[in-house]
Amino acid sequence: MKHLIAPSMLASDFGNLNAEVEMVNKSQADWFHLDVMDGVFVPNISFGIPIIKSIKKVANKPLDVHLMITDPDRYITKFKEVGADILTVHYEACNHLDRTIFTIKSQNMKAGVAINPHTSINLLEDVLGEVDLICIMSVNPGFGGQKFIERTYSKIEKLYKIKQKLNYDFLIQVDGGVDLNNTKKLVNVGADVLVAGSSVFKSENPLETIKKLKNT
């Protein structure tokens, strides 16, 4: 399978949101990546349910919703209602992760689990057979435009080896600091989905940047 590209709408121009969504629609991107932050789990606040509902009306590609919030279980049904196709929660935010994954899948969404840079993939051992996606954060969550953390490569490689050994089929996603300089290496060590924000929306030609990210 060729790797997937999921532009992070957090880096887009919210004053021209419809135009930014249409750009992604026309591009070689595969998903829209939507970061939801509550100012508690991470030190920032981003868009919420109304914005996702608006994006869904225009988007013609799956919505990959990444919840950086405390107690995500309270909102699973809401995110389904506004159009989430993939719903990712943080390992660090869930007291009963297995139950949360089950609830997401019972709502006919793909279930993802994200881990912060300091969190070991070994802690995911008991849920790897249940999830559709593991999101490895390659920056500390909360703000766009951060520098890529180099030890992410070894985490992806380790997770990929476990996936192959146990014949699991979850996707490995990397989120944070992804650009044209590290795309090839990320794919080579096992990444399936690349989330790219600033490197896409701050570039001179986002359509061309997405094309290069997809075909590198």
Residue 142 phi/psi, 5-degree rounding, is 135, -30
Known catalytic residue at 73: no
In single-letter form, the type of residue at position 131 comes to V
Going through 8-104 in order, the beta strands assigned E by DSSP cover 32-37, 63-68, 86-90
Phi-psi sector, 6: left (phi>0), alpha (psi -120 to 50), beta? beta
21, containing H or E segment: helix 17-26
User: Distances in Å between the alpha carbon of 32 and those of 5, 130, 197?
Assistant: 9, 23, 10
For the record, the structure tokens of 119 come out as: 């969190």
> Does the annotation mark 38 as catalytic?
no
* Torsion (CA) 193, 49, 115, 40 in degrees, nearest 10: 150
Active-site residue identified among 30, 35, 64, 85: 35
Catalytic member of 38, 132, 175, 192: 175
- Which residues are annotated as catalytic? 35, 175
